[in-house]
Amino acid sequence: MEAAVVSSTAGAVAPPTLISVSLNTRRFSHCCFSFFQYDHMFLLLQGLKNLTVTEGESVTLECQISGQPAPAIMWFREDYKIESSIDFQISFLSGCARMVIREAFAEDSGRFKCTATNEAGTVSTSCYLLVQAPWPPALSAGLVASLGPGRAWVYSSGFCTYTGL
């Protein structure tokens, strides 16, 4: 069996190494195969998924990322970086990048992005989180609930309930 390794070191990041193996035995008169060996790589195995939740619920956003060497993970909401805190718990274990929002509020709605970076470059995935107010709102007799401009309102007098825009 004879093997030849061809490699190039042009550029700041080493390109994949091409490994070619030729076999010449009694069973195979001549057999050759090649494959690439990567020193730096990324694989986005599973991206983020859009979610709709009810206000007050806990939310978990996660994606599967494989990288060599291990990537640095960053989370963003509408292009603003999110730092790990009590309200936003960020982790990256065994290729699973995860962010848990302890309690979601309507103002948390928006586009979330997870970005992984190492010497091979950057890969990212994004999703949209929609946090909705609970419906129907709990009302006591004689109360009016407004869900904001252009949204429905409800009035309950104890005997009748009226709704409108």
Answer yes or no: pTM beyond 0.75: no
81: helix, coil or strand? Answer: strand
Q: Is the pLDDT of residue 46 over 80?
A: yes
φ/ψ (deg, to 5) at 160: -130, 155
Looking at the fold, whether 73 and 102 belong to one and the same domain comes out as: yes
For residue range 55-101, list pLDDT tens digits in order: 999 999 999 998 888 899 999 999 899 999 999 999 999 999 999 99
Looking at the fold, whether 68 and 112 belong to one and the same domain comes out as: yes
Element at 74 (helix H, strand E): strand 72-77
DSSP line for 96-125: EEEEEESS--GGG-EEEEEEEEETTEEEEE
Q: Is the pLDDT of residue 27 over 70?
A: no
CATH code at position 128: 2.60.40.10
Give the domain range for residue 102: 42-132
Q: What percent of the chain is helix, strand and coil (3-state, nearest 5)? A: 0, 55, 40
Looking at the fold, whether 87 and 111 belong to one and the same domain comes out as: yes
Looking at the fold, whether 46 and 8 belong to one and the same domain comes out as: no
Q: Mean per-residue pLDDT for 13-32?
A: 47
Q: What is the pLDDT of residue 70?
A: 87
Looking at the fold, whether 64 and 104 belong to one and the same domain comes out as: yes
